[in-house]
């Protein structure tokens, strides 16, 4: 069924794609979906695979074919009957939607195609199973190279620049250029995959839609993400927007430059997080000390400093102070653009009790904790995702 959107507030009646372009702030409107006749049903049917084929492709989900596991489920390498290699994600019970809603959301996400996104090829929904089939990306994930002392050298500065800009291009497509505004919700190094030519592809975009997290709201009780990459307001209060992805992207920029994982700073005496570490070096006038030693001297100092500047700009505590991802990409590719002076970023860390706290918002959190809604925090622990 095709759907049209009726905007009760503005009296508009149009298709979802037209509505997004006509009203960029559609999240602030009151709208309902009205089903109409269309060809979406045939698209869903073309994407559907039977469970028998999935079982055969993965050798009955054997441990030998398992290549990743996280908050949404396990990932297996598989070979379809035509010889095509694929990555098969077997969803856990985190997908709380009915079959019809699941199929419709898969159809939406499958339409999103960009050179820096992993392609969703199909799905299976049989016998209580919900399964997604992705293109296979052979070179594992960015964290496999970035945080391994023996492999870091394979990522020279030109490669890291390419990865940083490519992630921004993928997010720009999701946030602004796709038919619908899609938020990733869990961007981190393990969600950036590398193909045989070391070109990056963002994985797991659209999982929030597929698993029933309402993206038209600004607040959720069901928090999906990873501590250290979630913006403080999202981690603490459930408030989210596309600026939440920008925050995660800023953390990732600093990780790519430093070769250090944000979680490596937890409970250390050196720094609370990569943000506090980078900010201290920045305010001391020593930003280049953040740079990964594996890079040697194979970079331009002004370029690295600018990328660190942009990273700090993305992790501002107030979402209004963070740039849109399109602006970020412009800053990274046009050195004539003057950059605003960053403010002290929000340091969102895990305490010894496992609770998420913000250094800048601790008092506010404590005063409002009794009235805060409870959250189901699906913290992802995935190391390797669909490839």
Catalytic residues: 186
Distance CA 209, CA 211 (A): 5
Strands (DSSP E) contained in the chain are 2-7, 12-14, 31-36, 66-70, 73-79, 85-91, 120-126, 129-135, 192-194, 200-202, 222-225, 348-350, 356-358, 376-379
Instruction: Look up residue 373 and give its DSSP letter.
Output: P
Contacts of 308 (CB under 8 A, 6+ apart): 253, 254, 257, 278, 282, 287, 290
**Which residue in the block uniquely carries the two structure tokens 């046009």?**
334
**Which residue in the block uniquely carries the two structure tokens 């706290």?**
357
SS3 content of the chain, % helix, strand, coil (to 5): 40, 20, 40
Q: Which of 211, 239, 262 is nearest to 378 (CA)?
A: 211
Cα distances (angstroms) measured from residue 355 to each of 71, 248, 319, 351: 18, 19, 22, 5
Helical spans, DSSP H, in 64-189: 99-110, 142-146, 157-172
Q: Sign of the CA dihedral 5, 217, 1, 122?
A: positive
Contacts of 194 (CB under 8 A, 6+ apart): 137, 139, 140, 141, 142, 145, 200, 201
Q: Which of 91, 167, 183, 174 is nearest to 129 (CA)?
A: 91
Contacts of 232 (CB under 8 A, 6+ apart): 317, 346, 348, 358, 360, 361
């Amino acid at each position: 069924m095709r759907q049209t959107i009726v905007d009760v507030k503005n009296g508009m009646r149009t298709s979802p794609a037209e509505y997004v372009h006509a009203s960029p702030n559609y999240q602030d409107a009151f709208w309902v979906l009205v089903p109409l006749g269309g060809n979406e049903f045939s698209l869903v049917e073309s994407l559907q695979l039977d469970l028998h084929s999935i079982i055969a492709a993965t050798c009955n989900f054997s441990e030998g074919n398992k290549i990743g596991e996280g908050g949404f489920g396990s990932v297996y390498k598989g070979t379809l009957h035509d010889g095509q290699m694929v990555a098969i994600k077997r969803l856990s019970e985190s997908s709380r939607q009915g079959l019809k809603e699941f199929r419709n959301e898969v159809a939406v996400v499958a339409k999103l195609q960009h050179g820096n996104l992993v392609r969703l090829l199909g799905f299976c929904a049989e016998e209580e199973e919900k399964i997604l089939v992705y293109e296979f990306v052979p070179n594992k994930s960015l964290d496999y190279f970035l945080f391994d002392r023996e492999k870091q050298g394979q990522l020279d500065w030109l490669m890291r620049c390419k990865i940083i800009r490519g992630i921004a291009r993928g997010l720009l497509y999701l946030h602004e250029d796709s038919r619908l505004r899609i938020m990733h919700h869990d961007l981190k190094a393990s969600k950036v995959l590398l193909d045989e030519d070391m070109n990056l592809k963002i994985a797991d975009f659209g999982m929030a839609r597929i698993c029933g997290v309402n993206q038209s709201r600004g607040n959720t009780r069901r928090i999906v993400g990873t501590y250290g990459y979630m913006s403080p307001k999202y981690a603490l209060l459930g408030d989210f927007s596309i600026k939440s992805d920008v925050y995660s992207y800023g953390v990732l920029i600093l990780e790519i430059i430093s070769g250090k994982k944000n979680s490596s700073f937890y409970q250390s005496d050196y720094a609370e997080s990569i943000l506090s570490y980078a900010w201290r070096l920045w305010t001391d006038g020593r930003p280049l000390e953040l740079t990964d030693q594996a890079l040697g001297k194979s970079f331009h100092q002004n370029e690295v400093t600018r990328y660190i500047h942009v990273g700090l700009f993305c992790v501002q505590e107030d979402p209004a102070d963070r740039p849109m991802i399109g602006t970020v990409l412009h800053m990274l590719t046009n050195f004539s653009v003057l950059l605003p002076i960053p403010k002290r970023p929000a340091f969102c860390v895990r305490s010894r009790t496992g609770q998420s706290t913000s250094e800048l918002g601790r008092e506010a959190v404590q005063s409002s904790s009794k009235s805060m809604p409870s959250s189901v925090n699906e913290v992802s622990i995935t190391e390797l995702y669909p490839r």
